[in-house]
Amino acid sequence: MTRKTKKVGSTGRFGPRYGSQLKKRVLKIEQGMHAAHKCPNCASPNVKRKSVGIWTCKKCKASFAGGAWVPITPTGKSASRTTISLEEQRLEKAKK
């Protein structure tokens, strides 16, 4: 017997409904959500999604807020980079 969900993966449960492009989008989101993510505290790949936007590390038991489907969103990455650079600028001014 052949595998039914070779191309569509977990979205095979939708059958012929909703269209191929929407199912591809859902598949991409679900694969990212269930992938291994690194913990921001201990850097181990044991982060799991507890509920929408809440992520927990199974190793260090840390809980943190993140995106709905991924623990760290692209917007969150850019915001943290901006915060770090502003903090560095503030420290340089304090030294002068």
pLDDT tens-digit map of 34-64: 899 999 899 999 999 999 999 999 999 999 9
Q: Tell me the pTM.
A: 0.71
∠ CA 37-10-73, rounded to 5° = 30
Pairing of strands 47-51, 63-65: unpaired
Is there a contact between 39 and 46 (Cβ–Cβ < 8 Å)? yes
pLDDT tens-digit map of 63-91: 999 999 999 899 989 999 999 999 999 99
Mean pLDDT of the chain: 90
Q: What domains lie within the chain, and their CATH numbers?
A: 1-35 (no CATH), 36-96 (2.20.25.30)
